[in-house]
């Protein structure tokens, strides 16, 4: 996480999630047919992954000032 912050990103939400094979295949659909596709899908579904959502700085500032609600 430190590296993410050092690069100027601000994490708005973080969630740990284990992808199903169907979810991973859908996400990596553009790589379907590549020789590494099956190994990629196997690795991405083997363990839970941390999903990070980054909000652009101007929006983050506005939200922190109380503008806008989710």
Q: What is the reported pTM?
A: 0.56
Confidence of residue 69 (pLDDT cuts 50, 70, 90): low
What are the residue ranges spanned by the domains of the chain? 2-64
Superfamily for the 2-64 domain: Nucleoside diphosphate kinase-like domain (3.30.70.141)
- CA angle, 35 then 46 then 55, to 5°: 90
Contact 54, 10 (CB under 8 A): yes
Per the structure block, which two tokens stand in for 67? 């503008």
pLDDT tens digit string along 10-46?
Answer: 777 778 889 999 999 999 999 999 999 999 999 999 9
């Amino acid at each position: 996480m430190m590296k993410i912050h050092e690069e100027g990103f601000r994490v708005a939400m973080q969630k740990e999630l284990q992808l199903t094979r169907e979810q991973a295949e859908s996400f990596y659909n553009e790589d379907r047919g590549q020789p590494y596709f099956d190994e990629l899908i196997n690795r991405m579904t083997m363990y839970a992954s941390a999903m990070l959502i980054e909000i652009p700085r101007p929006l983050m500032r506005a939200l922190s000032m109380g503008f806008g609600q989710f």
